[in-house]
Amino acid sequence: MIRLEKRPEPSRGWTALTPVLAVVLTMIAGGALFALLGKDPFVAMKTIFWDPILGEYAFYYRGQLLVKAAPLVLIAVGLSLGFRAGVWNIGAEGQYIVGALCGGAVGLAFYPAEGWYIFPLMVVAGALGGWLWAMIPGILKTRFNTNEILVSLLLVYVAEQLLAASALRWLKNPEGQGFPGSRNLAQYPAASNPELIAGTGMHWGVVAAMIAVIFAYVLLNRHMTGFHIRLAGQAPRAARFSGVSPSRLVLFCFSVSGALAGLAGLFELTGPAGQISIDFNVGYGFTAIIVAFLGRLHPVGILLAGLLMALTYIGGEAAQSTLGLPAAAIQAFQGMLLFFLLAVDVLINFRVRFGRAMA
Amino acid sequence: MSEAEPLLRIEGLTKAYPGVVANSDVSFSVGPGRVHALLGENGAGKSTLVKMIYGLVRPDAGRMQLNGAPYAPPNPNAARASGVAMVFQHFSLFDALDVAENVALGMENPPPRRALAQRIREVSQAYGLPLDPARTVGDLSAGERQRVEIVRCLLQSPKLLIMDEPTSVLTPQEVEILFATLRQLAAEGTAILYISHKLEEIRSLCDGATILRLGKVVANCTPAEVSARELAEMMVGQTLITPTRAAAEGGKVVLEVSGLSLRPATPFGTSLKDIGFSVRAGEVLGIGGVAGNGQDELLAVLSGEAPVAAGAVRVDGRDVGALGPVERRRLGLLAAPEERLGHAAAPDMSLTENAMLTGSGRMGLETRGFLDWRKARVFAERIIAEFDVRTPGPSHAARSLSGGNLQKFVIGREILQEPRVLVVNQPTWGVDASAAASIRQALLDLAARGAAIVVISQDLDELMEISDRFCALNEGRLSPPRPAKGLSVEEIGLMLGGAHDLEAAHGTA
């Protein structure tokens, strides 16, 4: 029989090892799943994990890696601060949309003017939009003690309606022959977010994600606010005793995660997406939740997890097209990653003992 | 008496955990109808020993016999079936349920409700433990809750009753009632294993005592025949330091509380009603009272966790009522709550981080929000060294420390910040005798340096030893402080009991 024995202290070794173990277990279970679907599991794993980086067509995929990872990392870093403090912003997808809409609206308002100041103004507007959308659950929670999980999640669907209305009416391209969608910002130089180094996928969103990772690392390890965030998550009563104001902490966490999600939306809109369309959002805000936990809510971990998750997206798409794997199988594969991570997490705080059953 | 066949005989019991031997070759026996004390410091192995007897932990080696037959309970159910019952130090009761429902939850085959209520009434009357089966547990005092636990055990007619520190939550009057019950049980032939570190109690109640130190039996004695001091020295293995009080008088008023009222944050909390007192520099004010009468709330109000009306709390004449913990610490008002893990300290954080928890401001561990971890580590190391905290180092998690060691760390952290006012709740709860003595001495030294100190405690001996003035909390009201010198036990009991006396608890439903 297997017994679990609580460790006196969390194991540092396992804290670092469990993500790796989770990836290995996902590969095994995912491979079994693909084999049952009649595909060679080894070829599938190679297509997903190897080809996008080192395969024949890697020059195409490599750029995609940063493009996909940047919004995930940017959003997940913001969310991780709240998750550490026990503040559950589940609605980053909505903040992402509203950030893109606000930033995009500012850019479209200047069209066709040229000026260096236009893009920075859009960035500010994007962050403000995400921040505003996040303030709704934040203020409702601190004022009326509503459940922030529910409110932030439901606001995603409100944001999707705003997106549809924008694409169909408010921000519709007047020269678009009646097709839904805004002007293409990627073709409006003053408002575009181009690739900074050709072929790498490096755009301003990637730069912002790197800055966010460093900012979060310094905040958590060197600053009082970060210390209070960790304290509030681990021991809420001790946090109050220390002098943390729970309301201010909730608002801070929602501010940062909302603004970063808004930024991610804006960089996506002005770069890879180009225009506001009905299907502008593709679920980065939700996937970022997985990325945050996969990265142990640690900024550097999130950076790695974001790259890994981006890889499974790109590799998954490749597997769909070259091997004919169904999209649902790829989604299940990505879901397994979080499942196994949470399952092996038990090793951090518990020691597994194999021994005789208690009589 | 010992020539009679013992009810429980323990031979060579040994239990080791990774890195520590909790019990090593422990032997003793308890005869029927005897009250046997198990005495020892924290970490001496008392809990592990009774857990083995109660079937919660299995010994690595050694034998137990019950009534002459081999006894090795695999779990508490088996122990109960053999006639062994235990009353834990921390109650396992549901506040929202009534007494009968709580009792039924602990039974394998509870009888119908009405029959059970009848049984509870019979047993509680037979043993002088007044208890109304229909009352909600959330409304009961700590003493009454303990009665629920005891009655729950007595319904099984146990042959051996284990009691883990039963008097820590009782008023002197309630202790007398409990002792009468225990003596009656013993007279009827029930053996009682009594764990405590209150030496006077053991001397008045117990027929025999086994003293444990570091997991080994160091002595067996008849408590009535040795002095409390001798018992303590056997237990600690060294001569006790008795705190010496350097009386300081006529300092100026540092902490002033007046007209302080607070509504409870939770349905089972206690509201504070019009509390007023003042403490002078160099003075120790002791606040006694049975747990749950507003101690936690009072500490929260003073620490700044629960802000109150302007003017209710003043430090050096300055109104701090609306200020939070950080501003109050800056003005010199520091506090150490009762609950060490989760309130005074964050369990999963290192001692360095826990030093930062309250020390950031006064110890200069931060500059404009940025933290100096090197300085925090030095501060943590200083606490560890000066307060004899047993730990391999400041990078270890708070939860890896034993309760007594963490308490030393928490108290040391506040004392080393040289507060103007220090408020502590239960400063020596669960701390062994020598550590408790050094904590008390550190508090007195702090007072001698001119700080005003408020000690909230349920340990009356402790309060009598260190307080200049004494008052008691009862249902959120504070009795007027009186000089501690010359107070009799009866007077103290009445201050503690207040409107909450035993007859009232018995009569009103």
pLDDT in tens, A282-301: 899 999 998 998 888 999 99
* B436 and B496 inside one domain: yes
Is the CB of A225 inside 8 Å of chain B's CB atoms?
A: yes
Give the lowest-confidence range in A173-177, A330-334, B191-195, B269-273: B269-273
pLDDT of residue B506: 37
* B41 and B146 inside one domain: yes
Report the distance separating Cα B441 and Cα B447, nearest Å.
Answer: 10
Q: Quickly tell me which residue has 């460093």 as its tokens.
A: A214
Neighbours of B420 (CB within 10 A): 16
* Mean pLDDT for chain A overall: 91
Confidence band (pLDDT; 50, 70, 90) for B19? low
Q: Contact B400/A241, CB-based, under 8 Å?
A: no
Tell me the average pLDDT across B467-493.
Answer: 83
Amino acid identity, position B348: D
Q: Is B346 contained in some domain?
A: yes
Higher pLDDT, B480 or B239: B480
* B177 and B269 inside one domain: no
* B160 and B281 inside one domain: no
pLDDT of residue B248: 53
Q: Which residue of A has its CA nearest to B370?
A: A223
Whether residue B261 has pLDDT greater than 60: yes
Q: Is B415 contained in some domain?
A: yes
Q: Is B211 contained in some domain?
A: yes
* B99 and B155 inside one domain: yes
Q: Which residue of B has its CA nearest to A238?
A: B343
Q: What is the DSSP letter of B237?
A: S
pLDDT of residue A358: 45
Min distance B10 CA to chain A CA atoms (Å): 21
Whether residue B359 has pLDDT greater than 60: yes
* B262 and B231 inside one domain: no
Whether residue B435 has pLDDT greater than 70: yes
* B197 and B230 inside one domain: yes
Higher pLDDT, A355 or A251: A251
Interface of B with A in 26-65 (CB under 8 A): 58
Whether B221 and B232 have beta carbons less than 8 Å apart is answered as no
Structure tokens that stand for A138 in this block: 């934040």
Q: Contact A241/B326, CB-based, under 8 Å?
A: no
Question: Which of B236, B270, B285 finishes a domain?
Answer: B236
* Mean pLDDT for chain B overall: 85
**DSSP β-bridge partners for residue B164:** B195
Out of A223, A231, A241, the one facing B303 most closely (by C-beta) is A241
* B28 and B155 inside one domain: yes
pLDDT of residue B500: 38
pLDDT of residue B257: 94
Model ipTM value: 0.84
Question: Which of B172, B207, B236 finishes a domain?
Answer: B236
Out of A9, A225, A241, the one facing B305 most closely (by C-beta) is A241
Q: Domain residues for B18?
A: 8-236
Tell me the average pLDDT across B411-438.
Answer: 90
Q: Contact B324/A9, CB-based, under 8 Å?
A: no
Q: Is B407 contained in some domain?
A: yes
Out of B324, B343, B348, the one facing A237 most closely (by C-beta) is B343
Question: Which of B209, B236, B263 finishes a domain?
Answer: B236
Whether residue B157 has pLDDT greater than 90: no
Q: Contact B345/A245, CB-based, under 8 Å?
A: no
Confidence band (pLDDT; 50, 70, 90) for B339? confident
pLDDT of residue B17: 75
Tell me the average pLDDT across B150-156.
Answer: 87
CATH number at residue B379: 3.40.50.300
Confidence band (pLDDT; 50, 70, 90) for B4? low
**Residue of B323, B348, B350, B363 best to disrupt the A interface, most CBs of A under 10 A:** B348
Q: Is B244 contained in some domain?
A: no
pLDDT of residue B214: 79
Establish whether the linkage from the previous residue to A180 is cis, with ω within 30° of 0. Answer: no
Whether residue B278 has pLDDT greater than 60: yes
Report the distance separating Cα B291 and Cα B139, nearest Å.
Answer: 13
Helix A327-344 with A299-323: angle, nearest 10 deg: 150
Count of domains observed in chain B: 2
Whether residue B344 has pLDDT greater than 60: yes
Q: Is B63 contained in some domain?
A: yes
Three-class HEC string of chain A: CEEEEECCCCCHHHHHHHHHHHHHHHHHHHHHHHHHCCCCHHHHHHHHHHHHHHCCCHHHHHHHHHHHHHHHHHHHHHHHHHHHHCCCCCCHHHHHHHHHHHHHHHHHHHCCCCCCCHHHHHHHHHHHHHHHHHHHHHHHHHHHCCCHHHHHHHHHHHHHHHHHHHHHHHCCCCCCCCCCCCCCHHHCHHHCCCCCECCCCECHHHHHHHHHHHHHHHHHHHEHHHHHHHHHHHCHHHHHHHCCCHHHHHHHHHHHHHHHHHHHHHHHHHHHHCCCCCCCCCCHHHHHHHHHHHCCCCHHHHHHHHHHHHHHHHHHHHHHHHHCCCHHHHHHHHHHHHHHHHHHCHHHHEEEEECCCCC
Q: Is B12 contained in some domain?
A: yes
Q: Is B3 contained in some domain?
A: no
Higher pLDDT, B172 or A290: A290
pLDDT of residue A357: 46
pLDDT of residue B9: 92
Give the lowest-confidence range in A344-353, B67-76, B205-214, B252-261: A344-353
* B231 and B268 inside one domain: no
* B108 and B150 inside one domain: yes
pLDDT in tens, A93-139: 999 999 999 999 999 999 888 889 999 999 999 999 999 999 999 99
Write out chain B residues lying below 8 Å of A237, CB-based: 339, 342-343
pLDDT of residue B91: 76
* B202 and B139 inside one domain: yes
* B133 and B15 inside one domain: yes
Give the lowest-confidence range in B129-138, B145-154, B494-503: B494-503
Question: Which of B182, B124, B189, B174 has its CA nearest to residue B152?
Answer: B124
